Amino acid sequence: MESNKITYYKTPIGTAKIVGDKNGISSISVIDDEIDTSKKIPTCLKDCVLQLEEYFKGKRTYFNLKLNPKGTEFQQKIWNELLEVPFGKTRTYLEQSKKLGDVKAIRAVASANGKNPIWIVIPCHRIIGSNGSLTGYAGGIWRKKWLLEHENPSAQQSLF
């Protein structure tokens, strides 16, 4: 069994810790600690670093990576649904619940979003409250706001 490889990549909003192996990316998390970025990136993680770099430079609007997140069947279903939310768009937790066919599952959907192990690539930052509020985000609300403005700079100004 191949062990997970880890690399650290500095983004404009924190250091990304990327974990994965030949079966895909299992997690991307953001850490606030100042960690030196990896000098040598494991081969299985190079494409992920490159695509994140392009995303942050505004040159990439979708990711084409092999993903291998660990979670329950329900969580996997929610995370797959998140992959359907287009770049520059948002969806509410209620809309996400309706897409799954169960409006009563809103809390479970929100909880699964919060457990999303693959930051940015599985775009849970695109899910907002029904009133447009930037509710709950494991990376911090300021990062959610930054990501949404990065993906849709003109639309954000028109809200105010």
> Among all residues, which ones are annotated catalytic?
124
Dig out the tokens for 34 from the structure. 């100042």
- Which stretch of DSSP H or E encloses residue 22? none
| Cα separation, 27 vs 53, whole angstroms | 17
Which residues are bridge partners to 6 per DSSP? 19
Four-residue CA torsion sign, 64, 34, 37, 117:
negative
Contact 6, 17 (CB under 8 A): yes
Helix axes 106-114, 73-82, angle to 10 degrees: 80
